[in-house]
Amino acid sequence: MTPEQPNSPHNAHNGHSDGNGHSPVDGTGTAVTGAGTSQDQRTAEGEGAQTLTTRQGHPLTNNQNLRTLGNRGPALLEQYAFLEKISHFDRERVPERVVHARGAGAHGVFEAYGKVGDEPIEKYTRAKLFNTTGKQTPVFVRFSTVGHGGHSPETLRDPRGFAVKFYTEDGNWDLVGNNLKVFFIRDAMKFPDLIHSQKPDPVTNRQSGERIFDFICNTPEAMHMVSFLFSPWGIPANYRQMQGSGVNTYKWVNDKGEAVLVKYHWEPLQGIKNLTAPEAEAIQAKNFNHATQDLFEAIDRGDFPQWELLVQIMSDDEHPELDFDPLDDTKIWPQEQFPWRAVGKMTLNRNPENYFAEVEQSAFGTGVLVDGLDFSDDKMLQGRTFSYSDTQRYRVGTNYLQLPINAPKKHVATNQRDGQMAYHVDAAPGQNNHINYEPSSLNGLKEAPRTAPDHMPQYSGRVMRQTIDRQNNFQQAGERYRLHEDWERDDLINNMVGALADASHRVSDKMVELCTNCDPDWGRRLADGLAAARNGQPARGGNQQNEGRQERAVAQAEAQGHEAKPY
């Protein structure tokens, strides 16, 4: 997510603009767009020219929150505006992933400890992959960068994806997360907006700090993520030496149907290493595939990377004693209150034989859970659960689960048929192949017996679209700023100054205000750095990736280019 900087405001529009950022309008009240098409500009009563609507023309009165039962969730499926928004977003890129496009992967094994910390794991979950000491489950892991394209440098500032597919005896479990333990937003309604702000400008096709921070400065919950992402934690040294996190809150369910909330953490036994921006630039100048190469060559020489899987456990209630909502994925559960408990170890020991077949076509989903694992009411999790699998059906195809990399390593028998690129039928031995429905008395498929009770949470509340009560957007961000070492704080300030130096003062001033709310020293240093940068002075510690530097690079390429004769 290392941004290019925006053009200055007076250069931000092309010849199709009237100078105020509006498309010219012909005599019929119809706007003429740069693509040569026209768009009806009639508005309903109470609407303005910039009123946000759906593709159906419905005015959108709340673009911030899902409709939920109470402001903590769960979310309801019948909200058309969200389904239309996220479904369109899932289909915005062909054929590359919309997010997590650049990736590397490896096969391995997960070995269970048979306990959670010092307790019997059966107390909390009946998931079979955890229940026996030494039990081994095959895994496939895909690491990735989030916001950039499939061939982008692996040194760019960006969260890293950390997705693990467990091929368990009860079917697949996908633990889909990132290297950082928090996220920018807490409601899935905002996910397309977040990613749009980090993707290139639709006019210039360049990323810009102004676009990124314009979204962030109007989304205070993102400040905790900013405290990590713009520090060295935003550029892991490689994939082997970075943490992983499920980010969202899940549930564990035991054989009595009782549930607890759980968060997952991968801790690298190789240690953790991050890079400053100047260090990353120097590496990128030599090798923009360095992390993929590092992972492949380490496994190839037998230096198998390992991670320990640890969990935090919390009772499934609102926890009014906390100053944040435990389902808010912009927050970290304090380790002193909810200790990390080890449940197993993962070893990556085999490289892919074909990158496309195994890494590119691998498909993960937050809804892929086995018995004993369940969803929480986390509003981001519920939105992601629809989006992930919907994206895979679009990107890879209707029958993506028949591909070897995605197929479970066990019996599969369904009544699903046909669709693009189906190459076998999920039928059982001896099944009547004429019967592709259930129930049937003619030797069709039968439901599996229930061996343990369902988890049945009880809800009572009003359906609404509202933000959660305990937002507390600044405390943990300020704590993280103060926990950073001096060199990490220096890098954080320099990176933010570089991204904001040429942004609108409306954006940069709001960012200074938000940083001050997190920690007064953070706000003061950012303000001082921006003032120095705008006066042409280098920020303390150097490393300003501002527009002036990038413009110089453009001019340098022309000035130093070697002339050649035509042929």
The fraction of the chain above a pLDDT of 90, given in percent, is: 59
Q: Comparing C-alpha atoms, which of 276, 244, 269, 177 is closest to residue 484?
A: 276
pLDDT of residue 549: 66
pLDDT digits (tens, 9 = 90+) for 243-302: 999 999 999 999 999 999 999 999 999 999 999 999 999 999 999 899 999 999 999 999
SS3 291: helix
pLDDT of residue 209: 92
Is the sign of the CA dihedral 42, 45, 47, 49 positive or negative?
positive
pLDDT digits (tens, 9 = 90+) for 364-378: 999 899 999 999 999
pLDDT of residue 179: 95
* 59 preceded by a cis bond (ω within 30 of 0): no
pLDDT of residue 546: 47
Q: pLDDT class for 544, splitting at 50, 70, 90?
A: very low
Q: pLDDT class for 81, splitting at 50, 70, 90?
A: confident
pLDDT of residue 538: 57
pLDDT of residue 92: 67
Ramachandran region, residue 97 (left: φ > 0; alpha: ψ -120 to 50; beta: rest): beta
pLDDT of residue 388: 87
DSSP character at residue 12:
S
How far apart CA 548 and CA 541 sit, in angstroms, is 17
SS3 219: coil
- Does the structure show a pLDDT above 70 at 313? yes
pLDDT of residue 16: 41
pLDDT of residue 386: 87
The torsion angle over the Cα atoms of residues 376, 380, 386 and 391, rounded to 10 degrees, is -140
Does 178 qualify as catalytic in the annotation? yes
Cα–Cα–Cα angle for 522, 528, 529, rounded to 5 degrees: 90
Mean pLDDT calculated for residue range 133-152: 89
Pick the catalytic residue from 178, 436, 473, 546: 178
Least confident of 54-68, 242-256, 550-564: 550-564
What six digits make up the tokens of 533?
Answer: 């940068």
Contacts of 251 (CB under 8 A, 6+ apart): 259, 260, 261, 262, 316, 373, 374, 375, 376, 455
Q: How many Cβ atoms from other residues are within 10 Å of residue 32's Cβ?
A: 14
Rank 33-37, 227-231, 357-361, 558-562 by mean pLDDT and report only the highest: 227-231
Rank 113-127, 284-298, 374-388 by mean pLDDT and report only the highest: 113-127
- Does the structure show a pLDDT above 70 at 6? no
Q: pLDDT class for 28, splitting at 50, 70, 90?
A: very low
Q: pLDDT class for 90, splitting at 50, 70, 90?
A: confident
Place of tokens 């053009």: 7
pLDDT of residue 547: 52
Domain 103-228+236-402 coded CATH 3.90.1300.10: no
pLDDT of residue 537: 67
The fraction of the chain above a pLDDT of 70, given in percent, is: 89
Mean pLDDT calculated for residue range 485-513: 96
- Does the structure show a pLDDT above 50 at 33? no
pTM: 0.84
Instruction: List where CATH 2.40.180.10 sits in the chain.
Output: 103-228+236-402
| 80 is an annotated ligand-binding site residue | no
Does 205 qualify as catalytic in the annotation? no
pLDDT of residue 326: 95
Pick the catalytic residue from 65, 100, 265, 546: 100
H-state helical runs in 151-262: 191-198, 209-217, 223-229
SS3 556: helix
Mean pLDDT across the chain: 87
If one compares 539 and 55, the residue with the highest pLDDT of the two is 55
Rank 10-24, 81-95, 305-319 by mean pLDDT and report only the highest: 305-319
pLDDT digits (tens, 9 = 90+) for 425-463: 888 888 899 988 888 899 988 888 888 999 999 888 998
Q: pLDDT class for 173, splitting at 50, 70, 90?
A: very high
